[in-house]
Amino acid sequence: MTAYLDIILVALILSDFILLGSGRLGNCIRIAAWQGIMVGLLPIATADAGFSFRIAALGIAVVVLKGFVFPRLLNRAIRESASSREVKPFVGYTTSLLAGVLALSASFWLDGRLSFPLHLESAIVVPVSLSMMFTGLFLVVARRTAVNQVIGYLVLENGIYALSLAIVRDVPFLVELGVLMDMFVAVFVMGIAIYRINMEFDHMDSNRLAKLRG
């Protein structure tokens, strides 16, 4: 099964780079959805010990939420705010790609320094999930549009999910569901917030919200 696992992990890395280099919001949402689906398939790919109902249910829940529900919410948000492009991001796309490469190499370096007590399914699972976390954080920091920031959070969460799957192997079901619920609420609230911000201010530039502080 390691082959499937490695394929998924490499695909995750590639999706990160697409996200870093793309300015079209619709495109970014689509890529994030695919990333969600691949992350959802991870537990199924790693389940060499047996294919239990629990793992299947978890995988399906993740795929449905991250692959279909979240993108729908985000798509609605950009449709209603009638914005399709990230304009003037804080960090340009080329620089972003370079930062992604840097993040990936930093992750590999970190993987060498960290020592995990458990036997890992794949040699690259830890660096890949670390680089996803960095990419997610980078997207949150470097993008101006609220939708892209939400996507950043999603990527960050995907990274956490992949890492926890790699390290803990047997993630308690309830904990996982809890994280999913959090994400769901977060995306939901942000979707609504983006919509409201847009309604009130005629834009969804989170930077300009700084005016609201007291």
Contact residues: other proteins, CB under 8 A: 90, 110, 113-114, 137, 140-144, 149, 206-207, 209-213
Question: How near is the Cβ of 206 to other proteins at its closest, in Å?
Answer: 6
What letters, b where the CB count within 10 A reaches 16 and e where it falls short, cover 143-175? Answer: bbbbbbbbbbbbbbbbbbbbbebbbeeebeeee
Question: How near is the Cβ of 62 to other proteins at its closest, in Å?
Answer: 24
Question: How near is the Cβ of 144 to other proteins at its closest, in Å?
Answer: 8
Long-range contacts from 41-48, C-beta under 8 angstroms, 24+ separation? 41/8, 42/5, 42/8, 42/161, 42/162, 42/165, 43/165, 45/1, 45/4, 45/5, 45/8, 46/1, 46/5, 46/121, 46/165, 46/166, 47/1, 48/1, 48/121
| Cα–Cα distance measured from residue 136 to residue 130, given in angstroms and rounded to the nearest whole number | 10
Question: Residue 46 or 148: which CB sits closer to other proteins?
Answer: 148
Question: How near is the Cβ of 160 to other proteins at its closest, in Å?
Answer: 13
Question: Residue 138 or 161: which CB sits closer to other proteins?
Answer: 138
Question: How near is the Cβ of 95 to other proteins at its closest, in Å?
Answer: 15
Question: Residue 134 or 161: which CB sits closer to other proteins?
Answer: 134
For residues 189 and 156, the answer to whether their CB atoms sit within 8 Å is no
Amino acid found at 35: Q
DSSP 49: T
DSSP 41: H
Question: How near is the Cβ of 139 to other proteins at its closest, in Å?
Answer: 10
Question: Residue 129 or 206: which CB sits closer to other proteins?
Answer: 206
Question: Residue 49 or 212: which CB sits closer to other proteins?
Answer: 212
Question: Residue 13 or 140: which CB sits closer to other proteins?
Answer: 140
Tokens of 186: 């977060």
Q: Is 68 helix (H, G, I), strand (E, B) or coil?
A: helix
